[in-house]
Structure 1
Amino acid sequence: MTIYSLAVDIGASSGRLILGSVDDGRLWLDEVHRFDNHVTKKGAYDSWDIHHLFHEIKSGIHKCKARGIEPASIGIDTWAVDFVLLDEKDELLMDPVSYRDPRTDGKMEEVFETISKERLYLETGIQFQKFNTIYQLYALKEQHPEILDKAKTFLMIPDYLNFLLTGVKANEYTNATSTQLVNAFTKHWDKELLATLGINQDMFQEIQTPATELGRLKEEIAEEFGFSMKVVLPATHDTGSAVISVPQQEDTIYISSGTWSLIGVENHFPICVTKALDYNFTNEGGMDYQFRFLKNIMGLWMIQEVKRNYNDQYSFSDLVEMAEAASSMHSIVDVNDDRFLKPDHMVAAIQEYCRETSQPVPNDPGEVAKCIFDSLAASYQTSVAEIEDIFEREFKKINVIGGGSQNEFLNQLIADVTQKPVDAGPVEATAIGNIIAQKIALGEIRDVDEARAITKQSFSIKTYQPKVKER
């Protein structure tokens, strides 16, 4: 009998539910539901519609039932840093605010006046980004202290969705580390840090690790579907799940390519040294207490916004083809410049950057797209050099995973600028990692090593060889 696990993978622009099963040493995937996700303006803030997300999760489960499939387990992963606060009656105190909301502007620097940048990094090992949870909570404390005063429970987005399914409250490890409030060495909430910031420690839950069975569906939820199933914690941070699917870790730098680009390596311990601080690398938690030593780069968000700016008249593949044709255009922007985080008009922001830096200004869609892809490749090249400098050794290849691994033009650019072979795939990296954690919890897969062997057997990988640079 086939045992199905259901991966709920929600990103900043869309979500999907994917069934996974293991048969004859191979992992099989089957998408059953896909839906949109976007930020909406609610009052003063850019917020997520958490009720919409939960409704779509239930819709996907109903589709499984309609196909005669009753999954044995379900696991949820989402993006990081965003959260909800619940009152004493477990009601939402406000809609979850998006990390792209400007409420955290200037708050990171204000926190540094209380806690030094060096101390924060030495304790948490987390990359400095103005939208980290620590700065969101600090902003909330300044702007709406009454909400924090009423808060009895802190849950990150997947934690809250799990709570709606099970009634069980827990903070999952990989996502919790992204808050910049977890001590990298104790792997628990940093109570001294929270006390220094004046944030109530009691609202945080016990941190649970991936492959933990959280519980079963609440009775009323199980009755709605006509069956029950186990709710298992995957790496609820989508990148944490994605990295599990990288077939080979040794001598490999991974790039998890989607709305954001996450470039780094897996490590057995946090690297909280001055050079890593200077390069602004992060040490986020991974499966089995591994560390994802990586840098967060703006990613394909820029091309997504460009597509929107052109009123969606071009597909992503159209933009890639036009970028290939714009061979004479070569301008580089700093993809991590804050102006690209949430601009009013991405194309205009790119053009203005090029004017300010006295570079050719891209005018048509192909030139704009090529500027983005060239700039992403250049940022990856810089990050690869930084990783090799920190580790004092050379890594032999790069593995691009996630949706961006389908961009053949960008894959070849990465190979060319880094002069390293690029393996592309698996595409459904996050769902694969999510399902792997569930299968480990169910006892179908022994451990991550066995899972990676299964992944390598199950999914095709395309290799891009670097073109020799002309001297």
Structure 2
Amino acid sequence: METNKCYLAIDIGASSGRHILGWLENGKIRMEEIYRFQNGLHKENGHLCWDIDHLAAEVVAGLKQCKKLDRVPTSVGIDTWGVDFVLLDAQGNRLGSSAAYRDSRTEGVDKIVYEKIPEKELYARNGIQKQIFNTIYQLTAIQQETPELLERAETFLMIPEYLNYLLTGVAMNEYTNATTTQLVNAKTQTWDEELLDLLDLPRKIFGELHMPKSVVGPLSDKVASLVGFQTTVVLPATHDTGSAVLAVPAEGEESIYLSSGTWSLMGIERLIPDCTEISRKHNFTNEGGYHYRYRYLKNIMGMWMMQSLRREFKHAYTFEELYQLAHIGRYFLSTVDVNDASFLAPESMIRAVQDYCERTGQEKPETECELLYCIYHSLANCYARTVAEIEEVTGRKYDIINVVGGGCQDRFLNHLLKEETGKKVYAGPVEGTAIGNLLVQMLRDGVFADLNEGRRAIVRSFDVKKVD
């Protein structure tokens, strides 16, 4: 099915956001980025927070650009990172600050949660990897610090859901992102009300979970008037990794994927969750995916460390120059645990890496070459360990690793990945998250009959390179 229709993916990451138009042409998915904006954290009331008003304004600004270009989309889908949320009162007003996952408010909160439900039992219910910034710990931190906010709350919305609400006036929760809260039961695939009661969290704020392809609604009259057109807001996999995995150009069961960006997410696609104790000890997560698939994966710190280093370097190196510098530093042997909490939001990433090496009795990196190779090598080591764990837990061997997302452009890291794992590595597509977002909108509109047909179109449409 080919039409002249186009669809708009609004893909928002921790450092930037993009409006990307997509359409089908001669059997291939075509895309064009029409708007880009910056995102970041700021201090508010002593906490690291997102500027939600800024994000909302940029979403509208990108919609206006569609009108300016005379490219009115049939539908719009928004995806962002997971775990973060807003609370609304009875009038639909936002309560409190929009604290970010990098904020320190959840430190030590896990102990409070485990007094109410043991960690093993919690994992057996939802199969979600323990990350101290998961929504379950953020909500518990609110209970401790500002309980009146939960008492006044009527609605819980994750970040993309809140942006949808601002566009349409419809408050709707989406399944794939909801699973990152650690509050969704892996078997029933809905909010775990028994768990909510154990944690003293109000059931009423959590709405029915809707699957990708669900229609949120048309733009509100106010927003439609503002942007100059009417369209339909549709739920993609609103968690960016859920969208990115849809763009993996192979059947998920046949390969390991690495969604490479600010965060790295490495795993496989499964039809049945694994909430066993073995899986918990390996710290794997069972995040919800399209059509109740499961993204069985690990969260790994990712390119955040490299981005932070780059900001601290005095010279604004190009990516090619960074690769060359890292190559020069290949003599340096010290490595770090990239998932160590000290790297989550340090004032200086350089100092954090040096301190870690000193703390663990290793040589401290001093030059830019040594710092870069230390992080590159550490990331590749972590990926290789994760591959080995996936194969151990599943009892299967995988020959291929598909790298999608912006990080797939990092030739140096891709080469190290191949070197460390001994697997065939394929890089691309780059805009994996936006492609997955667009794919769901096209599936809803009948452009593709099913996911397999859509994935075959992705293979035809985008450059995927074998890493030599």
TM-score (norm 2): 0.98
Which residue matches 1:103? 105
Amino acid aligned to 1:394: K
Distance 1:211 1:446 in 2: 13
Deviation at 1:365, TM superposition (A): 1.4
What residue number does 2:317 align with? 314
Question: Which of 432, 435, 449 is 1:432 aligned to?
Answer: 435
> Shift in Å at residue 393 of structure 1?
1.5
Can you give the 5+ residue segments of structure 1 that lack an aligned partner in the other structure?
Answer: 466-471
Would you say 1:378 and 2:378 are equivalent positions? no
**Contact 1:307/1:316 (CA < 8 Å) preserved in 2?**
no
How much does 1:343 deviate? Answer: 1.0
Q: Tell me the residue number matched to 1:23.
A: 25
Instruction: Kindly provide the amino acid, as one letter, of the partner of residue 98 in structure 2.
Output: P
Partner of 1:422: 425
- Cα distance in structure 1, aligned partners of 2:247 and 2:322: 28
Alignment of 1:122-201 (within 5 A): 122-201=124-203
Task: Name the structure 1 match of 2:95.
Answer: 93
- Counterparts in 2 of 1:177-326, with a 5 A limit? 177-248=179-250, 249-311=252-314, 313-326=316-329
* AA aligned opposite 2:35: H
The answer to whether the Cα contact below 8 Å between 1:422 and 1:464 also exists between their aligned partners in 2 is yes
Contact map agreement 1:93 1:151 (CA 8 A) in 2: yes
Give the distance between the partners of 2:385 and 2:111, measured in 1 at CA. 25
Distance 1:311 1:169, change over 3 A: farther
Matched residues, percent identical? 49
SS of residue paired to 2:97: coil
Amino acid at match of 1:269: I
SS at match of 1:113: helix
Q: Evaluate the alpha carbon distance shift between residue 124 and residue 370 of structure 1 in structure 2; reply closer, same or farther with a 3 A threshold.
A: same
Structure 2: 5+ residue stretches without partners:
none
Change over 3 Å in CA distance of 1:84–1:446 after alignment to 2: same
In 1, distance between residues paired with 2:466 and 2:228? 45
Does 356-365 or 257-266 show the bigger shift?
356-365
C-alpha displacement of 1:214: 1.3
Q: One-letter code of the match for 1:7?
A: A
Closer, same or farther: CA 166–312 of 1 in aligned 2, 3 Å:
farther
Residues 64 and 228 in structure 2, CA contact (< 8 A), matched pair in contact too: no
Aligned-residue CA RMSD in angstroms?
1.0
Aligned to 1:460: 463
Residues 395-452 of structure 1: per-residue CA shift (max 9 Å, x gap): 1110111000000110010001000010000000000000000011111122111110
Q: CA deviation at 1:303?
A: 0.6
Pairing of 1:52-131 with structure 2 (within 5 A): 52-131=54-133
8 Å CA contact 1:307–1:315 kept in 2: the answer is no
SS in 2 for 1:227: coil
- Asked whether the equivalents of residues 174 and 212 of structure 2 are also in contact (C-alpha less than 8 Å), the reply is yes
Query: What is the identity, as a one-letter code, of the residue corresponding to 1:432?
Result: I
Structure 2 Cα separation of the partners of residues 259 and 330 of structure 1: 24
Partner residue of 2:356 out of 353, 357, 376? 353
Q: Secondary structure at the match of 2:222?
A: helix
* Deviating more after overlay: 89-98 vs 357-366: 357-366
Question: Would you say how many aligned residue pairs link Structure 1 and Structure 2?
Answer: 465
Is the Cα contact below 8 Å between 2:253 and 2:270 reproduced in 1?
no
- Indicate the larger mover: 72-81 or 219-228: 219-228
Task: Measure, in 1, the Cα distance between the counterparts of 2:352 and 2:237.
Answer: 35
1:55 aligned counterpart, secondary structure: helix
Does 218-227 or 89-98 show the bigger shift? 218-227
> Displacement of 1:53 after TM fit?
0.5
Task: Please tell me the residue identity of whatever aligns with 1:414.
Answer: L
Mapped partners of 1:192, 1:25: distance in 2 = 48
| Shift, 1:226, TM fit | 2.1
Conservation of the 8 A alpha-carbon contact between 1:125 and 1:270: yes
Residue 366 (structure 1) shift = 1.8
How far does the alpha carbon of each residue in 1:139-198 deviate from its partner, in whole angstroms, 9 at most, with x for none? Answer: 000100011110011000000000011111111000000000000110110001000110
> Closer, same or farther in 2 for the Cα pair 1:364/1:7, shift >3 Å?
same
1:397 maps to 2:400: yes
CA–CA distance in structure 2, aligned partners of residues 84 and 318 of structure 1: 41
In the TM superposition, what is the alpha-carbon distance from 1:317 to its structure 2 partner?
Answer: 3.4
Given that residues 50 and 95 in structure 1 are in contact (C-alpha distance below 8 angstroms), is that contact kept between their aligned partners in structure 2? no
What's the counterpart of residue 11 of structure 2?
9
Over residues 15-48 of structure 1, what are the superposed CA-to-partner deviations in whole Å (9 max), with x where a residue is unaligned? Answer: 0100000112100010000111000101121110
Q: SS at 1:409's partner residue?
A: helix
Q: What one-letter code is carried by the residue in structure 1 that aligns with 2:372?
A: A
Query: 1:312 deviation in Å?
Result: 6.1
State the secondary structure of the residue aligned to 1:327. helix
Offset at 1:110?
A: 2.0
Distance 1:431 1:437 in 2: 10
